[in-house]
Amino acid sequence: MNYLKINPFIRYAGQHTYHYNKRENSVCYDCRLFYIEQGKGTLFANGQTYLISGNEAVFLPPESVYRFSFSNPSAIKIFILNLDLTDEFSAYSKSFSTATEETFDKTLTLKYDLPSEFQTPIVQKNAFSIRENMIKCIDLFLQKTPYYKEDVSALAKLSLLEILRGQQSDDYSVIQTVLEFVRENYSLPTLTNQTIAERFHYHPNYLNRIIKAYTKKTLHEYLLDYRIQMAKRYLSSTKLSVTLIAEKTGFSSYTYFIRYFNKKTGESPLQYRRSHESIGM
């Protein structure tokens, strides 16, 4: 599904002013959208940890494993929507409660194609622009005024698109930082999607998605192609052996380096050197 074609269906809308800090994780059956107006703490979501505070939005896709922990659970104010990103299952109007990891039944999750932008958790800082929309959603949902379902759907969509707009702005800064880190550390054979994501405290899927949207390559492809670019430079400007060049460009396997270099250039490293050698240091 293209994110512009989302048509949210709201099952629950409410405001919470107290949170019980649980030790066990929760699992959601449908999407969750939170606007944290007041409160400070930590969100654990799908293996990642996020520091959260006031004026932040959190989106969680179905089957997210999560837990909020607030430093002062009695001094919070959170607006919450439980929703699908499609109205395909509007017949299931009753709110799905959250489960624990032990009680979660995956067969109860409604299946549809989520837009790629909403397949992983989103934590958006400075999300004040969605505050009024969230408040209106809750008021309309509780009052059940005529056409409230259409109204809350439109307001929820506006809120989600606002989060994406802010996320894309933040994404550009993240992309530049991550790619610079890759260019500075490409020679490390331990550099992988996982280690890069851990370095910047992001989920690997999130990093992969935004890198591909910007470069048209996955993060792994970008890393490998940059290694090949640097290998070409070594081959054309030095007399280093192919084995040493493979090591210096982060390929843990000489055989893999030869195979991937040939795949990308159509030549073996030695053939490339003979046709491109210039300085011969």
pLDDT of residue 83: 96
CB 148 within 8 A of CB 126: no
- At 209 the pLDDT is 84
Q: What would the DSSP string read from start to end of 61-129? A: -TT-EEEEEESSTTS-EEEEEEEESSSTTTT--SPPPPEETTT--GGGSPP----GGGSS-EEESS-GG
CATH of 186-281, one of 3.90.190.10, 1.10.10.60, 1.10.10.10, 2.40.50.140: 1.10.10.60
CATH number of 3-167: 2.60.120.10
The candidate with the shortest Cα–Cα distance to 67, out of 125, 5, 121, is 121
pLDDT-flagged residues of the chain (< 50): 279-281
Q: How far is CA 260 from the centre of its chain?
A: 29
Instruction: Write down the pLDDT at residue 132.
Output: 96
Provide the 3-class DSSP secondary structure of residue 60: strand
pLDDT digits (tens, 9 = 90+) for 1-12: 888 899 999 999
Same fold, 3-167 and 186-281: no
Residues 6+ apart with CB under 8 A from 72: 39, 40
pLDDT in tens, 27-50: 999 999 999 999 999 999 998 888
- What's the confidence (pLDDT) of residue 228? 96
**Domain residue ranges in the chain:** 3-167, 186-281
What pLDDT sits at residue 254? 92
Q: In this predicted structure, what is the pLDDT of residue 280?
A: 43
